Amino acid sequence: MVVVSVFLLGLSHLSGITRIFSQGATSLATPVWRAEAYLGELGNDVAMAVRSKESLIAENKALREELASVKIGLLSRDLLLNENRELKERLGRYDSNPAGLLAAVLVKPRRSPYDTLVIDVGSRHGVDVGDLVGAHGDLLIGTIERAMETTSLVRLFSSPGEEIEVTVGSSNIAALAVGAGGGNFRLEIPRGVDITEGDIISFPSISTTIAGVVERIQVEPNDPFQTILFKSPINTNELKWVEVIDHTERDLQGIVDEETRDDAIEGEDVVTDEQ
Amino acid sequence: MKPLIANIIMFVSVALLPWWAVAAVGVVLLFMIRSFYEIIVWGLVADLLYGIPVEAWYQISFVMTIGATALVVITDAIKINLRIYS
């Protein structure tokens, strides 16, 4: 045990060697992951083929009804989105939501205790360490931790102990959320702040980027703070596709490194309250 | 032959199974095969594939290696006290 500990301590300080071994291990494992994804799809197709006609008709009907109500919701959302964009343009700020590089998820977070994903794009496709990873358009879920040649390891924001800046509710109260693993987060805000279950938690940015939805609020009688438990609205263990966004193109004041944020604050195009 | 098959099983488990299932497979193989210390290497492989320095765990990114080592120590200690291994 002592020998192993000393070996690991040495290895942790030799990041170059660790990276080489990591690339080698990933090269061996990638064909297995791709085969797993292919067989998984094949299995789903076979399962669909043997299901009874009645159950398929019932599911089809339920999905059509759900689609109809979602379409109506989307219409309202599109109207609000356009209004939001026009208002920002009048204030001289523009939405910078660059299109991302689509990537398939090869390994889901449940595979390890680290809350990481493996995706099928890497440095060969222009992916770089620090790039942001999103899902379903408006959701950011993590950053690129390691970019191998054809695959990349994604660190999710909900990784245990990971801290991210967020804004809470309609009053956009700034707070620091801490990852609790599995898409879950916790944060503490003063007790007087008005917040309810279902409120949106978002990243501080000119663009709307959802971090999660409030699930539970814990208040102790003598505690001046309330603990908010929130969860990403998507189940990262069911993700099939994500988008990789070049971090140099993304206008995020809370997520990017401090140097980039400080440069943005010092820039002339920042809109202040006085303006 | 047995260790070779065991190593293939561990490789496939690390690549395809959740970490807790890999641990269960590892424990079974540790009891079936004498001195199956290769499991520590497979823990290291899993950390190289999926590991990141985790804030909550003091930036350690070799959790599964440490876990595999602990499994070896614990199963060795149990085997000493089991009649079938004496």
Q: Would you state the structure tokens that stand for residue A249, as one six-digit string?
A: 């193109």
For residues B35 and B25, the answer to whether their CB atoms sit within 8 Å is no
Residues in chain B within 8 Å Cβ distance of A118: 49-50
Question: B27-43: b or e for each residue (b if 16 or more CB lie within 10 Å)?
Answer: eebbeebeebebbbebb
Written as one string, the DSSP assignment of A50-80 is HS-HHHHHHHHHHHHHHHHHHHHHHHHHHHH
pLDDT at A255: 44
Between A123 and A16, where is the model more confident? A123
Which are the contacts of A219, defined by CB distance < 8 A and separation ≥ 6? A191, A226, A227
| pLDDT band at residue B67 under the 50/70/90 scheme | very high
One-letter identity of residue A249 = E
Shortest CA gap A78–chain B (Å): 38
Q: From the candidates B49, B58, B63, which should be mutated to test the interface with A, based on the most A CB atoms within 10 A? A: B49
Residues in chain A within 8 Å Cβ distance of B69: 1, 4
Indicate if the pLDDT at residue A181 is higher than 80: yes
The percentage of residues in chain A with a pLDDT greater than 70, rounded to a whole number, is 77
A2-13 and A15-50 helices, crossing angle to 10°: 100
Beta A152-156 vs A139-147: how paired, if at all? Answer: antiparallel
Contacts 24+ apart (CB under 8 A), A180-184: A180/A229, A181/A113, A181/A115, A182/A109, A182/A115, A182/A158, A182/A236, A182/A237, A183/A156, A183/A158, A183/A212, A183/A231, A183/A232, A183/A234, A183/A235, A183/A236, A184/A158, A184/A229, A184/A230, A184/A231, A184/A232
The enclosing H or E element of B45 equals helix B38-50
Which are the contacts of A225, defined by CB distance < 8 A and separation ≥ 6? A188, A189, A190, A191
Q: Give the model confidence (pLDDT) of A238-255 as tens digits.
A: 888 999 988 665 544 344
Residues in chain A within 8 Å Cβ distance of B45: 25
**pTM of the entire structure?**
0.73
Residues in chain B within 8 Å Cβ distance of A26: 48-49
Q: How far apart are CA A160 and CA A178, in angstroms?
A: 7
Shortest CA gap A242–chain B (Å): 18
pLDDT at A139: 82
Cα distances from A22 to residues A136, B60, B63, B69, in angstroms, run 29, 16, 15, 20
Q: Give the model confidence (pLDDT) of B9-62 as tens digits.
A: 999 999 999 999 999 999 999 998 888 899 999 999 999 999 988 877 788 888
Half-sphere exposure of A74 (CA within 13 A, CB side): 6
Indicate if the pLDDT at residue A191 is higher than 80: yes
Which are the contacts of B11, defined by CB distance < 8 A and separation ≥ 6? A28, B42, B45
Q: Give the model confidence (pLDDT) of A198-257 as tens digits.
A: 888 888 765 667 888 899 999 888 888 899 999 888 888 888 899 998 866 554 434 444
Half-sphere exposure of B32 (CA within 13 A, CB side): 13
The percentage of residues in chain A with a pLDDT greater than 90, rounded to a whole number, is 21
Q: How far apart are CA A161 and CA A158, in angstroms?
A: 8
The reply to whether residue B66 touches residue A8, judged by beta carbons under 8 angstroms, is yes
Q: Would you state the structure tokens that stand for residue A185, as one six-digit string?
A: 């987060």
Which residue from B minimizes the CA distance to A29? B15
Q: Give the model confidence (pLDDT) of A125-172 as tens digits.
A: 999 999 999 887 778 899 999 999 999 999 999 988 889 999 887 778
Indicate if the pLDDT at residue B63 is higher than 70: yes
Mean pLDDT of A85-93: 69
Look up the ipTM and state it: 0.84
pLDDT at A250: 52
